[in-house]
Structure 1
């Protein structure tokens, strides 16, 4: 159940939080971006990293244009839940 987890995240005043994508094998940083509730729900349902573009005010899935998707295996929250 994702909805109760959404309520525990410390969203900023614009309803955004920072999201980090890492390589599951090496831990290398693949992407840092912003998410909102809708982006997180889409990421969970599609298993592809979806972010919120602050400049375009819209969702975007990494790889939509390049086809270089970030497939999501797990999602973790940091200890501060922000």
Structure 2
């Protein structure tokens, strides 16, 4: 009997939370990214925060861009206040 082949509807594997976060951050920091795309990227980036916080990523690494670092700190503080 041949082995079972798993068929996926996705051609590419799903990105890990860290990969998704980095891709979104790069897109948000790129000055050529249109504002509409930047706004659409924000929720995807924010969706990764709980997982990255649970993994301790922000205890090990610091976001170097000051504006992004401040925005993320505000978002994480706001999220922590809502729990």
TM-score interval, smaller chain: under 0.3
Highest CA radius of gyration, 1 or 2? 2
Q: Structure 1 or 2: larger helix share?
A: 2
More strand by share: 1
